[in-house]
Amino acid sequence: MAEIDQYTFSFKEVVEALIKQQRLHQGLWSIRVEFGLTAANVGTTEGSKDATPAAIVPIVKLGIQRGSEENNLTVDAAKVNPKPPSTSKRGQSK
């Protein structure tokens, strides 16, 4: 059997995992991606001395932010990470 060396996730799966990691129990949350921008001269063909200016757009940060409506990038925290029932025994008598 082949060894697995890569896993991929949908945006919703990433948002769901981050909701659980942050212990969020309410609200709509969606994926947030911050990009950077830089430029460089890059070679166009291997072995060639020719260069072409190029934009490089790295992903700088990945996270979640509150959303306002459900869509393919949004997850409802109350559905995927419901608040656990209270275990407090205050007010109960034996």
Please compute the mean of the pLDDT values over residues 24-50 and round it to a whole number.
93
Would residue 35 count as lying in a domain?
yes
User: What confidence score (pLDDT) does residue 90 get?
Assistant: 62
Confidence at 16, pLDDT banded by 50, 70, 90? very high
Residue 92 in domain: no
Tens of pLDDT along 41-61? 998 888 888 999 999 999 999
Alpha carbon distance 81, 75 (integer Å): 10
Residue closest to 42 by CA, chosen among 33, 51, 30? 51
Instruction: Tell me the pLDDT band of 89, cut-offs 50, 70 and 90.
Output: low
**How many domains is the chain partitioned into structurally?**
1
pTM of the model: 0.75
Per the structure, the complete domain to which residue 65 belongs is given by 11-80
Q: Is residue 36 situated within a structural domain?
A: yes
Q: Which two tokens stand for residue 86?
A: 């209270």
Decide if 48 is inside a domain. Answer: yes
Q: Kindly state whether residue 30 falls inside one of the protein's structural domains.
A: yes
Output the six-digit token pair for 52.
């072409």
pLDDT of residue 77: 97
